[in-house]
Structure 1
Amino acid sequence: MTLITIRNLGVTLNAPLFSRLNLIVNAGDRIGLVAANGRGKSTLLRCIAGLMEPGEGEITRSRGLTIGYVEQDVPSALMDTPFYTAVLEVLPIERRTSDGWRVDVALESLDVPEALRQRPLKQLSGGWQRLAMLARVVVTEADVLLLDEPTNHLDLARIGQLENWLNALPRDMPVVISSHDRAFLDATTNRTVFLRPDQSQIFSLPYTRARAALSEVDASDQRRYQRDLKAAQQLRQNAAKLNNIGINSGSDLLLQKTKQLKQRAEKLEEAAKPAHLERSAGTIKLANRGTHAKVLIALDDAAVVAPDGRLLFRTGKQFICKGDRIVLLGPNGAGKTRLVAMLRQAIENPAATQTGIKVTQSLALGHCEQDLAGLADAETPMEAIVTRFEIGDQRARALLAGAGLSVAMQGRPIGRLSGGQKARLGMLLLRLAQPNFYLLDEPTNHLDIEGQEALEDVLLEHEASCLLVSHDRNFVRAVGNRFWLIEKKKLVELEGPERFFTSIGATG
């Protein structure tokens, strides 16, 4: 059953985001939208939801269709509203008393603790705020769900819970998901749309298999393009030979044939289209300063405690060695970020003794915070570079441009940049710091798939030494070569991350 029909849809904002898009949303479709940051995913969802008019084309919705749209950000007007009230308010006033039970059912299905339900959204984590927006859609009993980056700010346990919740929906409920989480897309979708400015590609496959099919299509297009150019070149060469013979012999017939061959070559060249080349959102490069030390950090039963002094876990006797890419695993609140903070303090301030932590003197730290708190909102990208490093303005501008920040963006306050732009700026600052050890706390939070894969490649290429925390399963699997799990107040080493993923239901 067709619920939504999209015909020749196009939107241009400064540059074309997508054009001539044709898509049918049927009952039971679970569609993943894939594109780089700022390339039209949110725009398309807003068009489908009826919140934005496209520049061209049309969207037809079946009669009486209700659409539940979960945006990326919580509306500022809701921030002072308690969790429960924020969900209840989406019901019509006359139904709030009789249908209030729907709110309780929605919150139970999302495992929202009673203690959080009366707290204002501004006091909750980004993950709980995301679930509040999802609960608001659940109680409306929408016919179609549109989810814009639903895994943002969620830890692995919540991502697994969201996957299970989506997969438990009625089979005929269509869902359209914009996401950069590759494992999440694989676990929850059965169709994939790769949004492109000219020719978007659609496959009846989940992300990973669709990505492989897309590569085959692009490779075939490139081979066809090369064949067409070669055929046009041969036609021109034949035309040149006939032209010489026609001139020398005075044959009008040969000259006419020459003209025809040239026209055929021109038509081939005009029709020939190169394979799609993805416009880069900016390069990601990291440095890896050398060190002769084999053991970078030694942990001797260090105690990791909460801000109130409560013991979270002990590390036991552990070593971080050169070339180790250690993934720190554990449920939310287990103490992952606290250990990262302790290691950072021990490296940056050796004079302040940290019991149970010994750091080699040659260690040079590169640190990435999950909320990018090291970047001041009022500072500009140019200021961030030139005030931290001895780099001239011209070099700074070139580096920023290479990271995907245009001249206009370079003078704009960092607070006005997108999450992806901030992330690329943060990676550039990491590179310029020339570290030999990285502490990475959710480094892929704001990166699109291209950025995630670029970061994976550069960490592997440089054999970088790092300890990282991430809820991106593909990133963890690609980068990690050691895995530490916080379990029962101890730090234990695993052979791989799959046991932990399975234990929290995040197996995609």
Structure 2
Amino acid sequence: MSRGERLGLVAANGRGKTSLLRIIAGEEEPTQGSVTTARSARIARVPQDVPEPLLPLTAQEAVLQALHPELQEMESWRAEIAVDDIGLPEEARQHPLSALSGGWQRMVLLARAGVVEPDLILLDEPTNHLDLSRIAALEAWLAALPRGTGVIAASHDRAFLDSVTSRTLFLRPEGSRSYPLPYTAARAALDEADAAEGRRFDNDMRRAAQLRRQAAKLKNIGINSGSDLLVTKTKQLTERAERMEEAARPAHREAGAGAIRLDHGAAHAKALVTLDEAEVTAPDGRLLYRTPKLWLERGDRVVLLGPNGAGKSRLMAMIEAALAGPVPGVQVAASARPGIARQDLAQIAHATAWEAVKAADMPDARARAALAGAGLPPDLQTAPLSRLSGGQRARLAMLLLRLARPTLYLLDEPTNHLDIEGQEALEGELSAEGAAALIVSHDRAFVEAVATRTWSIEGKRLVERDDPAPVLDALSRG
């Protein structure tokens, strides 16, 4: 990697992106091979979550701690400027990191990385927990880095990768590929290379089969005629076929990450959800906004957009509550069978993936196969959920949705932690005829792929917009 390069690191869940970043940062040793960095290079890694020792600290204290102890007293101003650069509100600066939102915690981790003036910054899923305005702030922060500062971003956010990277590395168990292009263009080049490789494999296998047929014919002739020369020729052709088959490599297929299949049931009611001047309030009773009369019908995929704190999850909670009893201004059809995915994956209430799937009254063999299909090998199926990565928990959540056979999906940030393969599979399943969904998401590529309707929280009102793009643009500008 050259000085100042911006590299996107792309791989399915569980393929070692985080481990690779830790190895580059010098926090872990590789199991084989080596990593060489410039002798004087300063490397800063931004993890997915705040390390526990930092949680009691304020933002400025956490950033200051990143400096060498000998510099902390004399150059504390650097920490103050770094916190200013991320735009943290004054009132939030007095609170410990544990009291800040996930988005602000992530921005503080960025400030910690930047304050040491690194030569290389390693970002691990940097857009998780960020709304569109904070993603735009992150992109601006990266653009403002000195030209010689390199960045490696391990991310599943396709729009973010397109915006900030100039090279893409696709990690694979064998034959990882790198392209001097941002994600979308690099993905097209990768797909073309995979297709060409697939054609070569098919051709090689056809040629090997042809050699084997020729060898079989010569063998029969040689046996009937007693010709040692033909027997030798038969052996040579067979060996050539074997070498060709051994050398042939099938086209790469992402296997093991698990397929997502949302097996939705049939809804008989035309309007699954009806909103009629519903008042959405904050936990303290403060009015956030009112809804007009709106319907969510079979086949609708409604994306609910708005800034963080506007009340998107509050409306989702009201609809969920209306499934169990009356909620003023919200009606849910009796035939609606919900499939709920919360942002924190709290719907997974069991100790292990095995217990979660068995709760669906599934035979053991089918349960094992379903978990394997979701990318969970046998050793993780009965392991505590804490051993699962965020991506593996997200795939388990999608599997539990499928088993519920919902007619109405309530999905809050469903692509958080899902790898790109999983995101694309989810897009395809949600786009299947008959799926009805209300979705909260800050993933622009996902929103533009699945939305058939857009609800936007604007001031104290919920309004319907024809196109999500202008709303997404406005949210990105903050």
TM-score range (shorter-chain normalised) is over 0.9
Matches of residues 361-440 of structure 1 in structure 2 within 5 Å?
361-376=334-349, 379-387=351-359, 389-440=360-411
Summarize the Cα distance change of 1:411–1:59 in structure 2 as closer, same or farther, 3 Å threshold.
closer
Task: Give the aligned partner of residue 456 of structure 2.
Answer: 485
Aligned to 1:18: none
Q: Letter of the 2:351 partner, please give it.
A: E
1:32–1:176 contact (8 Å) kept in structure 2: yes
Pairing 1:106–2:82 present: yes
Deviation at 1:184, TM superposition (A): 0.7
**d(CA) in 2 for partners of 1:264, 1:417:** 46
Which is worse superposed, 183-192 or 84-93?
Answer: 84-93
1-structure distance, mates of 2:244, 2:92: 65
CA contact under 8 A between 1:31 and 1:177: conserved in structure 2? yes
For residues 26 and 395 of structure 1, what CA distance do their matches in structure 2 show?
49
Contact residue 97 and residue 105 of structure 2 kept, 8 A = yes
Write the deviation string for residues 290-310 of structure 1: whole angstroms up to 9, x where unpaired: 222212222111111111111
1:59 pairs, out of 14, 31, 35, with 35
Q: How does 1:261-410 map to 2 (within 5 A)?
A: 261-349=237-325, 353-376=326-349, 379-387=351-359, 389-410=360-381
After superposing the two structures, state which structure 1 stretch, 468-477 or 50-59, moved more: 50-59
**2:44 aligned with 1:68:** yes
SS at match of 2:340: strand
- After superposition, the C-alpha distances for 1:227-277 in whole angstroms (9 at most, x for unaligned) are 111112222222333334444444444443333323322222221111122
> 1:444 is aligned with what amino acid?
T
- Taking structure 1 as reference, are residues 405 and 248 closer, same or farther at Cα in structure 2, changes over 3 Å only? closer
What are the Cα deviations for residues 134-167 of structure 1, in whole angstroms up to 9, with x where unaligned? 1111100001111111111111211111112212
**Which 5+ residue runs of structure 2 have no aligned equivalent?**
none
Corresponding residue number in structure 1 for 2:420: 449
Distance 1:178 1:478, change over 3 A: same
The superposition leaves residues 96-123 of structure 1 with CA deviations (integer Å, 9 ceiling, x where unpaired) of 2332221122112211111122211111
SS in 2 for 1:275: coil
Q: Displacement, 1:282? A: 2.0
Number of residue pairs the alignment of both structures matches = 478
- Paired with 1:160 and 1:382, the residues of 2 have a C-alpha distance of 39
Deviates more, 1:396-405 or 1:207-216: 396-405
In terms of fraction of residues, the more strand-rich structure is: 1
Secondary structure of the corresponding residue to residue 57 of structure 1: coil
Structure-2 change in CA distance of 1:155 and 1:251 (3 Å):
same
- Matching residue of 1:154: 130
Post-superposition offset of 1:195: 0.5
SS at 1:59 equivalent: coil
CA distance in 1, matches of 2:252, 2:431: 27
Letter in 1 for 2:154: S
Kindly report which structure 2 residues correspond to 1:464-503, keeping only aligned pairs within 5 A, or say none: 464-503=435-474
Q: 1:227 to 1:391 in 2, by over 3 A?
A: closer
Q: Which runs of 4+ in 1 moved over 6 A?
A: none
> Given the two structures, how large is their TM-score scaled by the length of structure 1?
0.90
Q: Which amino acid aligns with 2:355?
A: E
Residue aligning to 1:181: 157
Extract unaligned runs of 5+ from structure 1: 1-24
8 Å CA contact retained: 1:72, 1:149: yes
C-alpha displacement of 1:70: 1.0
SS at match of 1:504: helix
Whichever residue aligns with residue 459 of structure 2, its letter is K
CA contact (8 A) 1:242 1:254 kept: yes
Describe the shift of the 1:271–1:342 C-alpha distance in structure 2 as closer, same or farther (beyond 3 A).
same
Q: Which residue identity does 1:488 align to in structure 2?
A: G
Alignment partners' CA distance in 1, 2:353 and 2:135: 32
CA contact (8 A) 1:159 1:506 kept: no
Q: Conserved in 1, the CA contact under 8 Å of 2:413 and 2:440?
A: yes
Counterparts in 2 of 1:394 and 1:264: CA distance versus 1, 3 Å: closer
* Corresponding residue of 2:98: 122
Deviates more, 1:234-243 or 1:186-195: 234-243
- Which letter does structure 2 place at the counterpart of 1:390? D
| Cα distance in 1, alignment partners of residues 223 and 367 from structure 2 | 59
What displacement does 1:415 show?
A: 3.2
Contact 1:436 1:464 in 2 (8 A): yes
Letter in 1 for 2:43: I
Letter matched to residue 241 of structure 2: A
Moved more, 202-211 or 417-426: 417-426
- Cα–Cα, structure 1 residues 415 and 60, in superposed 2: closer, same or farther, change >3 Å? closer
The residue type equivalent to 2:333 in the other structure is T
Taking only aligned residues, the RMSD between alpha carbons, in angstroms, comes to 1.9
What's the CA shift for 1:462?
4.2
Matched-pair contact (CA < 8 Å) for 2:59–2:83? no
Match of 1:17 in 2: none
Q: Which moved more, 1:78-87 or 1:290-299?
A: 290-299
Contact 1:298-1:359 within 8 A present in 2 as well: yes
Q: In structure 2, what is the Cα distance between the partners aligned to 1:235 and 1:396?
A: 44
Residue matched to 2:205: 229
CA contact (8 A) 1:348 1:365 kept: no
8 A contact 1:375–1:414 mirrored in 2: no
Paired with 1:276 and 1:422, the residues of 2 have a C-alpha distance of 25
Partner secondary structure for residue 4 of structure 2: coil
The 2-side partners of 1:247 and 1:434 are apart by 63
The amino acid of 2:377's aligned partner reads S
C-alpha separation between the residues in 1 aligned to 2:399 and 2:429? 13
Query: Equivalents in 1 of 2:256, 2:426: separation in Å?
Result: 14
State how 1:136-215 maps to structure 2 within 5 Å: 136-215=112-191
Output one character per residue of 1:434-483: Cα deviation in whole Å (capped at 9) or x when no partner.
Answer: 22111111111121111111111111124311111011111111111000
Whether contact under 8 Å (2:299, 2:433) holds in the other structure is no
1:197-216 CA-to-partner distances (Å, cap 9, x unmatched) read 11101111111111111111
Q: Percent identity?
A: 56
Amino acid at match of 1:427: M
Q: Is the 8 A contact 1:288 1:462 kept in 2?
A: no
